[in-house]
Amino acid sequence: MDLIPFEERWAEKWDKFVMSDSVNGTFLQTRNFLNYHPLGRFADKSLLFVKGNNIVAVLPANICEEDNGKILYSHQGSTFGGLVLGKAFKKISNLEPIMQLLDDYLLSNRIAEIELKMTSLLYSPEETALLDYFLQLYNYSVTYEMGYYIDFGSYADDIESNFTASIRRDYRNSLKTEFTFRELQTNAEIGEFYDVLCENYQKFGKLPVHTLDELLYFKNMCLKDVVRFYGVFQDDIMAAGSMVFCFAKKVFHTQYLACRHDMLQLFANNFLYRNLIVVAKELGFSKISFGTSTLYQGKVLNKSLAQFKEGFGTKEYINSTFKKILRNGGC
């Protein structure tokens, strides 16, 4: 087995491996997705583990020079990723050389730290217990973020019967406003959603991870088959909205959820969540995810947001981030 740096000539094989031949790959680790970033935004250091012409595993990655040295991240241009392992190679006999090759790479390139934000089991085509164990075995520490999802296999068909009394009451109150809900189609509508999203981020002194141009690129170009946008309207004014990533027919994932501050008291958020649940179920997804409710890699729980999501009859899932600090820049 060999470890080699990614080159563009591997792009087609890489994407086929991630989407068809891996236990934990999603479109978020494909070159089709990662390449939307402007040249120079990330110092790409993606790696392939190969046997002959066969890909055994890939690591979408970038490197940053920080005060304490070089840090190798599973690609920061993706929500999650980490090591993506081939279905045919999920065996101890393959994971041992993968981990050793990665360690050798870190040492020879004087990497001070590596951080791998893995694909959650919720989105993975297959379970990843062996991979998680080997990361621990090779001295990676782990932190967890907590998120919420609904599994329609155990969710009552009468959607509101799954809600807590307070969420059900607030949803019924939202009906008094005569909100409407629809999928967003035009660039202008996506722009209006982005304004609502920015308003939400401003209270934290931040901007969304993606720019408006990037959202439009997702919709019209590289992710047009997997990204959807939805909005809640009061007359012609957008009150709330969501950007959704569709993971095959498995998970309907709300990548962004946003509500105008002055619409919270009219329960536009409740109206949005309830209608997203309906759409996901009607489209045939087995699950809907409302994302994480934690901050700072899980060290802080956003309790009010978590309890709000709990009220819709959700279950919990975790995202795992594995980290290893190497002494003296890999020595």
CA distances from 215 to 208, 211, 254 (A): 11, 6, 14
Query: Fold match between 2-145+319-325 and 156-312?
Result: yes
| Gyration radius of the chain's alpha carbons | 21
pLDDT in tens, 72-114: 999 998 889 899 999 999 999 999 999 999 999 999 999 999 9
- pLDDT tens profile 216-259: 999 998 898 999 999 999 999 999 999 999 998 899 999 999 99
Give the domain ranges of the chain: 2-145+319-325, 156-312
Superfamily of domain 156-312 in the CATH hierarchy: Gcn5-related N-acetyltransferase (GNAT) (3.40.630.30)
pLDDT tier at 327, thresholds 50, 70, 90: low
Give the tens place of pLDDT for each residue, 21-60: 999 999 999 999 998 877 778 899 999 999 998 999 999 9
Q: What percentage of the chain has pLDDT greater than the value 70?
A: 98
Edge to edge, the sheet with strand 251-259 lists 43-44, 61-66, 69-74, 111-117, 315-325, 141-151, 287-292, 251-259, 237-247, 227-234, 180-183
CATH architecture of 2-145+319-325: 3-Layer(aba) Sandwich (3.40)
Determine the average pLDDT of the residues in 123-139: 95
